[in-house]
Amino acid sequence: MLDKVVADIKSLKIQGSQSVAEAAMRAWVKARNKKEAYRKLYAARPTEPFLRNVLDYLMKHDDADALWEKFAVDKQEIIKLGAGKIRNDMIVYTHCHSSSVNRILVEAKKQKKKFNVHATETRPFFQGRITARQLSEAKISVTLFIDSAARLALKDADIMMIGADAITADGYVINKIGSELMATVAKNYGVPVYVCTHSWKFDPKTVFEFEEEIEQRSVKEIWSNPPRGVKISNYAFEKVHPDLITGIISEIGVMKPENFVSEVEKKNAWMFG
């Protein structure tokens, strides 16, 4: 099971920070050799501090049951806080696929709020289609835009909600490529930008001036046989400047990036031990 989970994480068969971390937890629990499982899972994806924080916690405390319970409670708190930001007749814009954002929108729908969602497709793997499909199945009105039509998707929006793969000590949010572009467009139109995420996406290594690695994936994902001399850039993620972020919605509250970082450091001393 361990090697299959590692392969599925690397190939994006398992995607989304929370899904990756939860799959890693299950694999670690079932593994006989915990140190080997830790090593293999830790190296499965470079830009995944949630995965690393979960594995570090398990190695230090060996209490997966407590972690499952915590995450279940935390998930509901994020959903509650996020759904509170959705009002009737809103247009909500989102980029890529975030399980946290989708759960928030589904909850807002359950609360009988009427709103529309604009989503961008998110090349090269089209994770935006996952978002659109799931929202459609929940009977939420959703329009899918190609990435280069993001201005059209955002110009009439009332709020932008995205997930996060990592958050650094200086308040930068690392999310799917295109996220800062979309946040910049949002700022130009006066659209507030909220990042919906678990606080364990924070990367404690960045406190000590280690740079969060931005994953580059195979050029073949973009163009399987490019002409000679054509270089391909395939960064999977990018940094979103904290000045573009209205607030981070997590289980510890809704906070500005700088306040979020300070609060995470207070509540998670074990990350720095």
Which residues are annotated as catalytic?
Answer: 165
Q: What is the layout of strands, in order, in the sheet containing 173-176? A: 166-167, 173-176, 237-240
| Residue 78: CB atoms within 10 Å | 23
129: tokens are 């289609």
Selection from 87, 72, 1 nearest residue 40 by Cα: 1
